[in-house]
Amino acid sequence: MRLYRFFLLLLVCFLLGACALFRPTVFKSERMFYERYAKKFGIPFDGTENKRLILAIDHWLGTPYRAGGCSKAGVDCSCFVQAVFQDVYGIMLPRSSEEMYHVVIKIDKTRLREADLVFLRGPDKKVSHVGIYMKDNYFVHATIARGVMISRLTETPYLKSFYAAGRVPGI
């Protein structure tokens, strides 16, 4: 009976050990994905972020700005947001940042989470710019000076021009 228990225990340990061998491979590739993009984007990813969103942002990153543009040759802020939401979530947002502002659920800036929209105001004090929140005060947007880029909401120009935050229904 003792020999039977010993072999049963040995078998259980072997099976648990064998299962553990397969887990790190998946975890390692996941970890490598997030580490790669954390380094590339300068954002501390923890592995819970939406991979499709990261890949869509990567696709557009560096695209030059063009007013009214809606392609990799040149894009404005609202078309960039619209294209990412269509690609990642299958949601068609309105074409302008002001129209987007009117269809989102307004949230407090302290409640921002991945894929929420960040609205900035122009000199006329109205919504004139939109970006996609990522995490830890990082957001991605299309700027006139540098095209599609990642910035921090805590940078002075964005602190001063922050207008509102909103969550797209269905996300």
Residue at 19 is within a domain:
no
Residue 138 has pLDDT above 50, yes or no: yes
Amino acid, single-letter form, for residue 125: K
Residue at 8 is within a domain:
no
Residue 141 a catalytic site member: yes
For the stretch 29-73, pLDDT in tens is 899 999 999 999 999 999 999 999 999 999 999 999 999 999 999
Task: Name the more confident of 26 and 150.
Answer: 150
Contact 118, 157 (CB under 8 A): no
pLDDT for position 27: 67
Write the secondary structure of the chain as one string of H (helix), E (strand) and C (coil): CHHHHHHHHHHHHHHHHHHHHHHHHHHHHHHHHHHHHHHHHCCCCCCCCCHHHHHHHHHHCCCCECCCCEECCEECHHHHHHHHHHHHHCCCCCCCHHHHHHHCEEECHHHCCCCCEEEEECCCCCEEEEEEEEECCEEEEEECCCEEEEEECCCHHHHHHEEEEEECCCC
Annotated catalytic residue, options 19, 79, 102, 141: 141
Residue at 24 is within a domain:
no
Structure tokens belonging to residue 116 = 């929420």
Q: What are phi and psi of 91, to 5 degrees?
A: -110, 130
Residue 10 has pLDDT above 80, yes or no: no
Residue 129 a catalytic site member: yes
Q: What are phi and psi of 149, to 5 degrees?
A: -150, 165
Residue at 5 is within a domain:
no
Residue at 62 is within a domain:
yes
Residue at 113 is within a domain:
yes
Annotated catalytic residue, options 13, 59, 70, 77: 77
Residue 102 a catalytic site member: no
pLDDT for position 28: 81
Structure tokens belonging to residue 166 = 């909103």
For residue 77, the domain's CATH number is: 3.90.1720.10
Residue 130's domain comprises 38-167
Q: How many distinct structural domains can be found in the chain?
A: 1
The pTM of this model reads 0.84
Q: What are phi and psi of 93, to 5 degrees?
A: -90, 160
Q: Angle 2-41/51-60 helices, nearest 10 degrees? A: 30
Residue at 13 is within a domain:
no
For the stretch 69-105, pLDDT in tens is 999 999 999 999 999 999 999 999 999 999 999 999 9
Contact 76, 131 (CB under 8 A): no
User: For residue 22, what pLDDT band results from cuts at 50, 70 and 90?
Assistant: very low
Residue at 18 is within a domain:
no
Annotated catalytic residue, options 13, 59, 79, 129: 129
The winner for highest mean pLDDT among 4-8, 11-15, 103-107 is 103-107
